[in-house]
Amino acid sequence: MSRWQNTHEALAEAALQLFVEQGFEATGTAQIAQRAGVSEMTLFRHFPSKEALLLDDPFDPRIAEAVRARPADEPPMTAVVEGIRQAWAGIADTELDDLRQRLRIIASAKWLAGAIERSSSATVDAIANALIDRGVPTAAARVVPAAVVAGLSVALLAWAQSETAGLGEAVGTALTALGEH
């Protein structure tokens, strides 16, 4: 792992720990940088905002690759839904715990209302580019992932706030509903 990647992960981990301990609003970027052992300037080289520390999405490349690898004759909606289903199936338990904590913080912090929606453009872009690579016209390649990501965001926030629902169940239900066309 590169030095940049190590620092990036250390910052994300320090931020999550502090957000859980103190709450999002009560945690400052200087505290996060100090806990990660770097300067605040370094933090902002890795993350443009405190919000970005929660919203950095490591799943986009996996999802895009899974969509790109779907059978060429699949309609765009099916390719996206099944690609996401496949990508989510490969997520490790430690990643799930981290994701649930981050989503709980997002759901509970008033300042972060709508944060997932604001940050979803990178996910939509990654999926749209995968669809374009499959030969899907640009307009359709933008609309399909926007609809799927919006629906998935609702399901993920509900899952994060639930003590009983498993991620597979929450995502599966949402993707099944989205895939019914």
43-96 residue pLDDT tens = 999 999 999 998 887 788 899 999 999 999 999 999 999 999 898 888 887 888
Q: Looking at the predicted structure, is the pLDDT value of residue 109 above 80?
A: no
In the chain, list all ranges with CATH 1.10.357.10. Answer: 57-179
Superfamily per CATH, domain 3-53: Homeodomain-like (1.10.10.60)
112-152 residue pLDDT tens = 767 777 778 888 999 999 999 999 999 999 999 999 998 88
- pTM score, whole prediction: 0.79
Q: Looking at the predicted structure, is the pLDDT value of residue 181 above 60?
A: no
Q: Which of 139, 147, 157 is nearest to 84 (CA)?
A: 147
Query: What architecture does CATH give domain 57-179?
Result: Orthogonal Bundle (1.10)
In the chain, list all ranges with CATH 1.10.10.60. Answer: 3-53
Measure Cα distances from 51 to 29, 31, 67, 105, 109 in Å.
10, 14, 28, 11, 11
Measure Cα distances from 129 to 18, 57, 147 in Å.
35, 16, 15
Classify the C-alpha dihedral 87-93-94-96 as positive or negative.
Answer: positive
